Structure 1
Amino acid sequence: MTQSSKPWTQSMPEEQFERMREVLAAPSPVGLEGAMTYGVLKPYFESFAPAEWRVHQFQGHAGIVLDTHPGRDDLFKVMVVGHADKIRMQVRSIGDDGKVWIDSDSFLPGTLIGHEVTLFSEAPENPGAYRRIEGGTVEALGAIHFADEETRTGRKGVRKEQLYLELHIHGENKKKQVEDLGVRPGDPILLNRPIRRGFSPDTFYGAYLDNGLGCFTTAEAARQIAEAGGARNVRMLFAIASYEEIGRFGSRVLASELRPDALIAVDVDQDYVAAPGVSDKRFQPLTMGAGVTYTVGAVASDQLNAVIQRVATEQDIPVQRDVSGRDTGTDGMAGVLGNVDCTAASLGIPVRNMHTISESGHTGDVLAAIHLVTGTLQALDAQDDGSGRLRETFRQGHPRLDQAAGLSHPGPKAKNGEAK
C-alpha cells in the first residue's frame, strides 16, 4: 500500500461517514446513554461479530462491551474504551412567565444562545418513558434593546444563571402550561445539530464529537479485527462506557468488572494551534488534520506507548505526541481509578471548539485513529501465544532510567548522528 493510497490520506467513504453521523447523533446525555449503546452500537456490533463473541451489558448503567473471548481470563486482556455520554443542559426551574431556566453543565454559556435544542421529559404517568420537546432555543438576554451597555459592547459576558429555554409559551397560566407538559427540574436538554461535511476538504462539524468519535473509532476497530479473522491470542474488549463527563465513573466499573491487563482510551483532544488566546501557555502544537494523538505523562504506560509508536511508524500512520500531568482527562485513568493493575494509554482525535455546538474535526484523523487502534491490537496479539505471557513482558519491561545511555552533542552540522 502506497502512502497516497492509505485510508487516512483519502476521503472517508460516504457509507462510513453516515455510520459516524448515526453514532454522533444518538441522544445519549450523561446517565441516559442507551440510545447510543443499545440503539446504535450494539446492533452494529452484532452485525459483524463472530458467533463466539459476546456483548456484555450491565445493571447500573447502559455501557456495553464486545468481548472476543468471553470467560477466558487466562488470556491477556486488552480493553479499548470510548464513552457514550454527552454533556447536556438540565432544567433548573420553571418561571411564572413560562421561561424554563436551565443549567449549562460543561458548556460556555455564551456559546449556547440562540441554538435549537431538544428537551427530553419523563412521562409523569409512566416513569422511565421519555417524550421529546423540539422547537425551543436557548436564550439569555432577549433583544439587544434590553441589554445593558457593557453587555452590548462585549465588556460583560453571559452568566450561566441567565440561561433559559424559550418555548414560546403565551396566554394565561404560562407556568402551568409548561408543567402540564410534564417538564420537571432535572430533565436533560441536548443541542440539535447533526454533523455535516465542512467547507475544507475532509472536515466535518457539529455537536458532540466528544465523544461519539471515540465510540465510533472503537466500533470500527472491532469491525476491522473481525474482518481480519478475529483475535487469536489475546482477549479484546471493545468497551463503550458511561459517565465519563462526570468523573470517568462508567469506565472504572467496566475495568473493575472485566479487569483488563491493558487499556486504551480513545477520546477527543484539543487543536491547540487553532485555539484562540493560548499562545503564551506553550501547549504542544497539536492540530486538526495532522493525525491521532497519544498521551505521555500521568498514568500512560511507556511500554504500551512504545507499541503504539512502532505500529504508527511501520504503517506510516500520522501521530502527534500530547502531554499530561497528573491526569489524562480521559478514560485512560479507568484502571487506576478502578483499582485494577493494567497498563494504560490514551489516544485522541484533535478537534476545534470542544464543548460547543460547532465542534469540528478531520476525517483523516479519525481514520488514522481507527487503524492505529487496530494495528496496536494486532501487534499485541502477535506478541502472545495464548498463554498470557504478555503480562510478564509488561511486568518485567518497565523502563529503567538508571540504565539510560549517555548522550553527547554531535555538533551543529551533524547528520545521521555523526558530526561533520
Structure 2
Amino acid sequence: MTDTAKPWNSPMPDDQFALMREILAAPSPVGLEAAMTYGVLKPHFERFAPKSWQLRQFMGHAGVVLDTHPGRDDLFKVMIIGHADKIRMQVRSIGDDGKIWINSDSFLPNVLVGHEVTLFSEDPEAPGSYRRIEGGTVEALGAIHFSDPAQRNGEKGIKKEQLYLDLQIHGENKKQQVQNLGVRPGDAILFDRPIRHGFSPDTFYGAYLDNGLGCFVTAEVARLIAESGGTEQVRVMFAIASYEEIGRFGSRVLAGELEPDAIIAVDVNHDYVAAPGIGDRRMQPLEMGKGFTMSVGAIASEQLNRIVEKTAREQDIPMQRDIVGVDTGTDGMAGVLAAVDCVATSIGFPIRNMHTISETGYTRDVLAAIHAITHTVKALDALPDPHREFRDHHPRLDQAGALDHQGADKPDADDK
C-alpha cells in the first residue's frame, strides 16, 4: 500500500474535518444528548446506510445504534461504541445579586473562569421547549484586587462552590431579572468553543473532544464499511451511547439489550508525554502524533487485541499500547457491567488538556483509529468462524516458550 493510499499519512480532507466539527459542536450534555445523536448523527447515518441496515432508538436515553444485520443473532456481533454525552456545568441556585451559582461537574474549577458559555433553559411555561442564553461568562473571584494573597501567588486555588455564571445583570431586582428569564436550578451550561485548526500542522483544538471524537470515528467506520459493501459473517452495531461521563450507564444498556460478542470502545486518551507534572509516575509514553492507542490490561481481550495489532501492522497504521490496569475507563467495560459474555477492547487517540476548553488533538491519529477499526472489522469478517476463534483460542501461558538473553545490539532502525 502506497503512502497516497494511506489516509492516516495525509492531512484530513476539509469535508471530513467539517463533519468532525459539526459532531463536536452539537450541544449534548449528559441527559440531553439528542442534539448530537438525532440532530447530526442520525441524518448522517441515513445518508449512506444501505436500506437493509436499521437505526435503533431507545426510550430511556438518546443513544442510537446503526445495525448492519438487524435480527441476525446467529452472526458474530461487533459493537463499536462512542459516547455522545458531554460533561456539563449546571445551575445550582440564583443569588439576590443576579449571580447564577453553578456546579462544575468534571471540570477543574480554575479552568472555567472567564470563559464564554451558553445556558440552555427549559421554558417553564412550555415543558419540553428549550431556549439558549448566550453572552455569559464563568467567574469566581471577580477582580484580582479582591482576592487574598494566597490566591494571587497560587498557593490557594478556586473552590467549586465559588463558581458562578455572570450575565452582566445590573439595576433593580437583579434576582428577579434572572428568574424572569425562566432560568432554574438544573439548567445545563456548555462552553462556547467549537474546534478549529491548530497552529501546528494537522492539529485542532477546542472543547468537548471527549467524546464527540469517538462518535465521529464510529460514524466514519460505518461509512467506510457501507462503501466497501458491508460484511457477511459479522453483524456490526455502530453505537452512540449516553451517560458515559457519569458511570458508563448508557453503553451498559446497549450491551444488555443487544448482547454483542465483541465490543470496541472508541474514546479519547491522554498524551502523557506532554502532560505536566506526572514524570515521576512513569506513565506509558503515549504521545499525540504517534498513532491510535489500544488498551492492554483490565478486561481488554488479548485475542481481540491480537487481531487489532496484526491488522495495524499489516496496513502500516501507527499504534501505541496503553496500559489500563483494572478498568479501561471507557465504554469498553460495557459488556462486563451488563453481564454480557463478550470480548472487548478500547481504541483511542492521545489528546492534551482533557476536560478543559482547549482540548487538543491530531487529525492523523484520529484517521489512524478510523482505518484500524475498519480493517479490524474486515479481518473479523474474514475469519472462518469468529465465534469459535474466540472460544477456542484463549492464550495459554502454560505453553509459553523459554526466552534467552538477546544481547545488547540495537535494531538497525535505532542506529540511524
**AA of the residue aligned to 2:324:** S
Q: Find the residue that maps to 1:290 and give its secondary structure.
A: coil
Aligned positions of 1:60-209 closer than 5 A? 60-209=60-209
Matching residue of 2:37? 37
Matching residue of 2:294? 294
**AA of the residue aligned to 2:400:** A
Once residues 344 and 97 of structure 1 are traced to their aligned partners in structure 2, the CA distance between those partners, rounded to angstroms, is 52
Matching residue of 1:230? 230
**AA of the residue aligned to 2:297:** G
Q: Find the residue that maps to 1:178 and give its secondary structure.
A: helix
Matching residue of 2:214? 214
Q: Find the residue that maps to 1:368 and give its secondary structure.
A: helix
CA distances 1:21-45 after superposition (whole Å, capped 9, x unpaired): 0000000000000000000000000
Count residues in correspondence. 412
Matching residue of 2:400? 404
- CA deviation after TM superposition for structure 1 residue 399, in Å: 0.4
**AA of the residue aligned to 1:209:** L
Q: Find the residue that maps to 1:335 and give its secondary structure.
A: helix
Check conservation: 1:24, 1:212, Cα contact below 8 A. yes
Once residues 393 and 239 of structure 2 are traced to their aligned partners in structure 1, the CA distance between those partners, rounded to angstroms, is 26
CA distances 1:245-303 after superposition (whole Å, capped 9, x unpaired): 00000000000000000000000000000000000000000010110000000000000
Q: Give ranges in structure 2 of 5+ residues lacking alignment.
A: none
Matching residue of 1:277? 277
From 385, 392, 406, the equivalent of 2:388 is: 392
Check conservation: 1:3, 1:316, Cα contact below 8 A. no
Check conservation: 1:272, 1:286, Cα contact below 8 A. yes
The reply on whether 1:309 has 2:304 as its aligned counterpart is: no
Once residues 45 and 399 of structure 1 are traced to their aligned partners in structure 2, the CA distance between those partners, rounded to angstroms, is 37
Matching residue of 2:52? 52
Q: Find the residue that maps to 1:118 and give its secondary structure.
A: strand
Matching residue of 2:330? 330
**AA of the residue aligned to 2:30:** V
Once residues 373 and 4 of structure 1 are traced to their aligned partners in structure 2, the CA distance between those partners, rounded to angstroms, is 19
- CA deviation after TM superposition for structure 1 residue 413, in Å: 3.7
CA distances 1:296-340 after superposition (whole Å, capped 9, x unpaired): 000000000000001100000000000011100000000000110
Once residues 2 and 341 of structure 2 are traced to their aligned partners in structure 1, the CA distance between those partners, rounded to angstroms, is 40
Once residues 184 and 372 of structure 1 are traced to their aligned partners in structure 2, the CA distance between those partners, rounded to angstroms, is 45
**AA of the residue aligned to 2:226:** A
- CA deviation after TM superposition for structure 1 residue 415, in Å: 6.7
Matching residue of 1:375? 375
**AA of the residue aligned to 1:397:** H
**AA of the residue aligned to 1:348:** G
**AA of the residue aligned to 1:127:** P
Once residues 42 and 414 of structure 1 are traced to their aligned partners in structure 2, the CA distance between those partners, rounded to angstroms, is 51
Once residues 179 and 25 of structure 1 are traced to their aligned partners in structure 2, the CA distance between those partners, rounded to angstroms, is 28
**AA of the residue aligned to 1:26:** A
Q: Find the residue that maps to 1:361 and give its secondary structure.
A: strand
**AA of the residue aligned to 1:169:** I
- CA deviation after TM superposition for structure 1 residue 5, in Å: 4.8
Q: Find the residue that maps to 1:383 and give its secondary structure.
A: coil
Once residues 2 and 281 of structure 1 are traced to their aligned partners in structure 2, the CA distance between those partners, rounded to angstroms, is 39
Taking structure 1 as the reference length, what is the TM-score of the superposition?
Answer: 0.97
- CA deviation after TM superposition for structure 1 residue 392, in Å: 1.9
Q: Find the residue that maps to 1:303 and give its secondary structure.
A: helix
CA distances 1:142-194 after superposition (whole Å, capped 9, x unpaired): 01111111111111111111100000111111111111111111111000000
Once residues 167 and 203 of structure 1 are traced to their aligned partners in structure 2, the CA distance between those partners, rounded to angstroms, is 33
Q: Find the residue that maps to 2:376 and give its secondary structure.
A: helix
Q: Find the residue that maps to 1:134 and give its secondary structure.
A: strand
Q: Give ranges in structure 1 of 5+ residues lacking alignment.
A: none
- CA deviation after TM superposition for structure 1 residue 410, in Å: 2.7
Q: 1:201 to 1:145 in 2, by over 3 A?
A: same
CA distances 1:214-265 after superposition (whole Å, capped 9, x unpaired): 0000000000000001112110000000000000000000000000000000
Q: Which runs of 4+ in 1 moved over 2 A?
A: 410-416
Once residues 233 and 49 of structure 2 are traced to their aligned partners in structure 1, the CA distance between those partners, rounded to angstroms, is 17
**AA of the residue aligned to 2:390:** F
Once residues 43 and 339 of structure 2 are traced to their aligned partners in structure 1, the CA distance between those partners, rounded to angstroms, is 31
Once residues 227 and 64 of structure 1 are traced to their aligned partners in structure 2, the CA distance between those partners, rounded to angstroms, is 21
Once residues 196 and 368 of structure 1 are traced to their aligned partners in structure 2, the CA distance between those partners, rounded to angstroms, is 20
